[in-house]
Amino acid sequence: MPTSLAPVSIDELRDIAKRVRKHIVTMVYQAQSGHPGGSLSSVELGVSLFWNHLRCDPANPSWPDRDRFILSKGHATPFYYSVLAERGYFSPELLSGFRTLGSPLQGHPSMSAAPGIEMSGGSLGQGLSFAIGQALAGRLDGRDYRCWVLMGDGELNEGQVWEAAMAVPHFDLGDRIIALVDRNGIQNDGFADNIMKTHPVEMWTGFGWRVLECDGHDMAAVDQALSEAEKPHERPRVVVAHTVKGKGVSFMENNPGFHGKAPTKEQLEQALAQIEGGLS
């Protein structure tokens, strides 16, 4: 059974990330709606994961032993669908239908609507619980797959996250679940520190997790953090990736206005040029 690729070099991962970013801004421009900011901040996490860590077979998306990637921050569909398309789950041509009537690529993910979509999302805070059920089922069935759950930092406001965070160590699921937090510091209404201040490192540590921090846009650092998270440890692992909302596009970076807003035609062209050139 095909599983993962041979390790992909950091340079190659960066090239893939560039393509994913271009898809993101183009999809949101075409749909004239969607969530570019929190999509651009998750790119390195997703690319490192899908190419170097997730045990998967895009040609066989219901393979029972596959690792599950669960997008809990369900609004980041431009990121999610772009990664799935680049990884080979479906044709990148599908991306142009994003958010249109009849397309499987809804604004928030609908489970099984397209290959690779593991869970319906959009109402925040539900992914980690879903992963616990999948992981416990895997244990019952003698399968060793992992569940990788990507959350936003604004999402950590939801109480259900902490019900689940408590339960993962309680059920000793550290080798079956790895949590990822995209710590971009901005949520729907503005800067997270103003809306509802959270302390992810202290909170996860307090709930019994091992916290691994990294620069979420340094591909090598992300890749290394995910490798570290895979290593056995007495505590379950959460990677808190420090990121920049809107990363790679100057006028979207650290701008709450682009949490859920589409660029104009001129902005799209500027964004594509900056992504290609590598905004410093």
Partner 1 sequence: MTPAPASAATREAYPFALIELVEQGVDVVAIDADLSVSTMGYQFGEKYPERWLSVGVAEQNMVGIAAGFAAAGKTAFIASFAAFLPGRCFDQLRTSVAQPRGGLNVKCVASHGGITVGEDGMSAQAIEDLALVTSLIPFDVVVPADFESARQAIVAVGKTARPSYVRTGRPKVAGIYDASYRFELGKANLLRPGTDVTLIACGIMVGVALQAAELLASEGISARVLDMATIKPLDREAVLAAARETGAIVTAEEHQT
- What are the residues binding partner 1 (CB under 8 A)? 110-112, 118-123, 125-138, 140-141, 159-160, 163-164, 166-167, 171
Residues near 117 by Cβ (< 8 Å), separated by ≥ 6? 80, 84, 109, 110, 111
Q: Would you say 167 or 201 has its CB closer to partner 1?
A: 167
Q: Would you say 101 or 140 has its CB closer to partner 1?
A: 140
Give the shortest CB-110-to-partner 1 separation in angstroms: 7
Q: Would you say 16 or 119 has its CB closer to partner 1?
A: 119
Name residue, tokens 């900056």: 274
Q: Would you say 5 or 137 has its CB closer to partner 1?
A: 137
Give the shortest CB-25-to-partner 1 separation in angstroms: 28
Q: Do residues 129 and 65 lie in contact, with contact meaning Cβ atoms separated by under 8 Å?
A: no
Give the shortest CB-181-to-partner 1 separation in angstroms: 18
Name residue, tokens 């969530």: 35
Give the shortest CB-130-to-partner 1 separation in angstroms: 4
Q: Report how far residue 178's alpha carbon sits from residue 143's, in angstroms, rounded to the nearest whole number.
A: 16
**Beta-ladder partners of 80:** none
Q: Report how far residue 155's alpha carbon sits from residue 157's, in angstroms, rounded to the nearest whole number.
A: 5
Q: 82: alpha, beta or left, given left = phi > 0 and alpha = psi -120 to 50?
A: alpha
Residues near 145 by Cβ (< 8 Å), separated by ≥ 6? 55, 64, 65, 66, 67, 68, 138, 176
Give the shortest CB-279-to-partner 1 separation in angstroms: 36
Give the shortest CB-11-to-partner 1 separation in angstroms: 36
Residues near 274 by Cβ (< 8 Å), separated by ≥ 6? 248, 249, 250
Give the shortest CB-38-to-partner 1 separation in angstroms: 18
Give the shortest CB-273-to-partner 1 separation in angstroms: 38
Q: Report how far residue 99's alpha carbon sits from residue 107's, in angstroms, rounded to the nearest whole number.
A: 5
Q: Would you say 113 or 273 has its CB closer to partner 1?
A: 113
Q: Would you say 108 or 233 has its CB closer to partner 1?
A: 108
Q: Would you say 164 or 241 has its CB closer to partner 1?
A: 164
- List Cβ<8 Å contacts ≥24 apart for 63-66: 63/1, 64/141, 64/143, 64/145, 65/1, 65/143, 65/144, 65/145, 66/145
Q: Would you say 131 or 186 has its CB closer to partner 1?
A: 131
